[in-house]
Structure 1
């Protein structure tokens, strides 16, 4: 029953309502309207009655109430990135779909032709690369075989030169020992005749010097210079005889002959050894160069094989073919989330263009609201909320999940847009209106009464409690948390079941404001 009807009924049946007494439920509070007079008395106005509430422990919320529209918290679009005709359309507006359901299928004829053509091109190119690969493999095998032959040949040459070097070294070492023996004898003999040899050499020098002096003096045979020269000549002859005698004594000719023969042989063997060493070094160097050349050729062929393999792999992962296959997959348009199809911009045979369908989740809903500027400082993201709507039989839970950082103008009122997530969306419908009570704080298991039940008497908060005689007794209370309708009270004399006077000015409770009182609630 709407508010206007309640007012009309109240006007029509005022006397009956007053005389009989009724229990009116307003916004969750229970009010008992009873006559002060006996049931038989004449009733003239609502001012003859008082409103009461039964005192019970309940909860009270410090909250603000906002209004808004129900919207989906998860909205996805089914789109096509290219233009093709729609071949099949599987949904209509209002259908419920699951993530992965096929929404529409596009005409894939041209794409399949392109894929087939591209695969043929790839197959032809693969055959060419395969032939090139096989040819290169043959070249690689030949190069490896050549390397094996060349290595064997070079190893053979190195071994021969090494054997020649070993033989030359052996013969040289044997010759060296014999030479050193003869050299030792020769040096001993030379040492033995050294004094005679030195005296002979010095005598030659002296004679030559005196001869030069004689010639330089004029060459006269009757001169002192000539006599000195002749004496030096005689001395040289004497020294020569002495040297020859010493050589004869120490067997000079035989020892010197043996030494010279040994030296000649030694030098010959040394030359052979040096030649063998040079030939061995050359063989080793040639072997290294040959193997390096073979390895270089093999490495070059392997690089060619690697490049061919790379090209083959590129064919297997051809970007153009991959793009076409991905395009083919995209001809099947699927839902990206669960929800209801709320918009459809396509028909069978039409060309796709951007968004084809819009899907909104019906399980994940939000209430889009506007929080007034004067309330924005009171709320924070994460606060709980209680949601009500004409489509709901009882309130459901929610949570404030977003507050805009900037204010905006909504219907001539400045405020901050915000979203309240719905915990259980059952019973709510996208686009419908809803109210949300954002709870800033709350208390449980406390006594609460309507705000107009509190009277300020001599600076103290008091309520009026009906006693056993039917009279209202003044009772002192302590007030606590309050909201737009209720206030928390406590006191030593309070207990559940007490009937408390709600001190409304009944003279103002006429037919003009009855509707607003009924709608306000507590």
Structure 2
């Protein structure tokens, strides 16, 4: 067995459980150091861990070789590869489409149509419940509904008859009122014509009556003056004042009714042989004759009667219209009651319950849980769980220092113990921005990724490893981050092997430009770089030197807590933690 094959066995020759345990110790530690590479405390922790693991495995190597402690310098062979910046996590496989068949009913299960593991389609019957009790309640509810409908129909029919009667009466009263109004209008028109006919005679009479009235007043005034004059003269009718007053009174009597007055005589106001009183009497006779000729009095009486009949018809119409409005409201109320009587909340609820006694699948998939037993009452509201095993997701948690870099849509490489080294592709679909809490929580941030590939071999409930790809840089030279140092001007350099071997190897600085990096590796470029060159894996010569514990001067390999050194080339750590190996997420460089 040569030195190279012995070295390649290294830690990888140990049982997988022990390798995994060491990887879980050393990998996160190295990852933390990369994120806090300026921290002195981190360097101490990493050095202590490396010393411990190196002592464990190198001591074993020395015991096996039984010789001295030759040394060689760890190097990385330059070759074009891909650099991935990624975050590793573990999670549990679940279905991306899960539906529960639920019920709040507590009836006895009558029949179960499926078993766990069966494939169902949306709408397939999962189980049925005993409906005998619901059907009894339904029958009673239907009978009560029919009785209510019958009563409501009777009330409606009565209200409809009352409405029709009130409508007919109101219509007749409206017709009667319209007729009375028309008759009143006709009588008013006829009376107005007669009134216009005697209008001139009425005016003449009014003027004559006013003049006669004024003359009668003048007679009365002059009589008072005469009586006063006689009294003043002591009854001497020949006194001049008495004679003058008598003459004025005689003139007033003559103007009024054509009579004369002599001193000591009497005034005759009844005589109407002439004067204004006779003229007024003649005008009144003419007016009455005109009214009689045109039927004025009869027309006036007809108008008064027609107006009274119209008012009576209006009162009757108002009364019947009020009764009609009341009948209409009662009919509307009865119609609403009849409509409402034809539905029952209780009946609808029971019918819904009857339908719910047939529990159906809400989606297509595989029955993964079933809580229904024939003859037993339903005790769990979730009767069955259906999962689409063809659409899978993985639930996982991301630590707080990584969560800012994780976003929906990032690609994910998935592996599992059950599926071996096959890389299954997925996509981040959910990222929580709130840390998990609770007794069983790790305190990380819950995330989900869907499985994009089909027929992956993953099953619900399996554990899976995820590599969340943050970025990928293709066809570049990459070296361990520690391989990049600084020259006296602060520029970046790597140390390229120019001669010698083992501990006597000679390295010269070559200027480089750095690019993308992950937790372990960094991209370099420069005119002085060529494929196949050996670059010292640490810019610090002492840190790059390794004692193999066996005979020989180099070319061997030793696995130190996840760093696989094979043939003098530095490979990526073989555990998760923020960045896979160039070209493959954790494999050796170039492999």
State the partner residue of 2:512: 477
Q: Do structure 1's residue 331 and structure 2's residue 357 form an aligned pair?
A: yes
**How far, CA to CA, are the matches of 2:94 and 2:494 in structure 1?**
46
Deviation, 1:488, is: 1.2
Is the Cα contact below 8 Å between 2:429 and 2:448 reproduced in 1? Answer: yes
Provide the secondary structure at the position in 1 that maps to 2:317: helix
**How far, CA to CA, are the matches of 1:210 and 1:250 in structure 2?**
28
- Match among 230, 238, 246 for residue 237 of structure 1: 246
Deviation, 1:93, is: 1.9
Question: What are the within-5 Å matches in structure 2 for residues 351-362 of structure 1?
Answer: 351-353=377-379, 354-362=381-389
- Match among 308, 319, 338 for residue 345 of structure 2: 319
State the partner residue of 2:47: none
The range that moved more, 140-149 or 228-237, is 228-237
Deviation, 1:327, is: 0.7
Provide the secondary structure at the position in 2 that maps to 1:347: coil
| Count of aligned residue pairs for this structure pair | 470
Deviation, 1:319, is: 0.8
Deviation, 1:109, is: 2.5
State the partner residue of 1:287: 313
Deviation, 1:465, is: 6.7
Distance 1:419 1:47, change over 3 A: same
Is the Cα contact below 8 Å between 2:479 and 2:524 reproduced in 1? Answer: no
Distance 1:46 1:100, change over 3 A: farther
What is the TM-score with the length of structure 2 in the denominator?
0.67
Question: What are the within-5 Å matches in structure 2 for residues 108-187 of structure 1?
Answer: 108-184=131-207
Provide the secondary structure at the position in 1 that maps to 2:465: strand
The range that moved more, 338-347 or 227-236, is 227-236
Distance 1:203 1:143, change over 3 A: closer
Q: Do structure 1's residue 451 and structure 2's residue 480 form an aligned pair?
A: yes
State the partner residue of 2:452: 424
Distance 1:348 1:490, change over 3 A: same
Provide the secondary structure at the position in 2 that maps to 1:431: coil
Distance 1:226 1:253, change over 3 A: closer
Provide the secondary structure at the position in 2 that maps to 1:480: strand
State the partner residue of 1:437: 467
Query: How far does the alpha carbon of each residue in 1:222-273 deviate from its partner, in whole angstroms, 9 at most, with x for none?
Result: xx54448954543343234434555659754542212233566899998877
Question: What are the within-5 Å matches in structure 2 for residues 31-46 of structure 1?
Answer: none
State the partner residue of 2:494: 462
Distance 1:169 1:455, change over 3 A: closer
Is the Cα contact below 8 Å between 1:76 and 1:358 reproduced in 2? Answer: yes
**How far, CA to CA, are the matches of 1:340 and 1:229 in structure 2?**
152
- Match among 431, 454, 465 for residue 402 of structure 1: 431
RMSD (Å) for aligned C-alpha atoms: 4.3
**How far, CA to CA, are the matches of 1:436 and 1:283 in structure 2?**
103
State the partner residue of 2:5: 17
Query: How far does the alpha carbon of each residue in 1:66-95 deviate from its partner, in whole angstroms, 9 at most, with x for none?
Result: 222223444432221111111221222233
What is the TM-score with the length of structure 1 in the denominator?
0.74
State the partner residue of 2:328: 302
**How far, CA to CA, are the matches of 1:199 and 1:136 in structure 2?**
78
Deviation, 1:101, is: 2.7
Is the Cα contact below 8 Å between 1:207 and 1:229 reproduced in 2? Answer: no
State the partner residue of 1:260: 284
State the partner residue of 2:57: none
State the partner residue of 1:486: 521
Deviation, 1:355, is: 1.9
Query: How far does the alpha carbon of each residue in 1:95-127 deviate from its partner, in whole angstroms, 9 at most, with x for none?
Result: 333433322111223223322332233233323
State the partner residue of 1:345: 371
Distance 1:47 1:293, change over 3 A: farther
Provide the secondary structure at the position in 2 that maps to 1:405: strand
**How far, CA to CA, are the matches of 2:93 and 2:189 in structure 1?**
103
State the partner residue of 2:103: 80
Query: How far does the alpha carbon of each residue in 1:145-194 deviate from its partner, in whole angstroms, 9 at most, with x for none?
Result: 2223333333333333333333333322322222213444666x769x96
**How far, CA to CA, are the matches of 1:498 and 1:282 in structure 2?**
130
The range that moved more, 498-507 or 485-494, is 498-507
Distance 1:472 1:176, change over 3 A: farther
State the partner residue of 1:104: 127
**How far, CA to CA, are the matches of 1:109 and 1:365 in structure 2?**
41
Is the Cα contact below 8 Å between 1:383 and 1:399 reproduced in 2? Answer: yes
**How far, CA to CA, are the matches of 1:293 and 1:370 in structure 2?**
84
- Match among 88, 92, 96 for residue 69 of structure 1: 92
Deviation, 1:331, is: 0.8
State the partner residue of 2:394: 367
Distance 1:492 1:276, change over 3 A: farther
Deviation, 1:349, is: 1.9
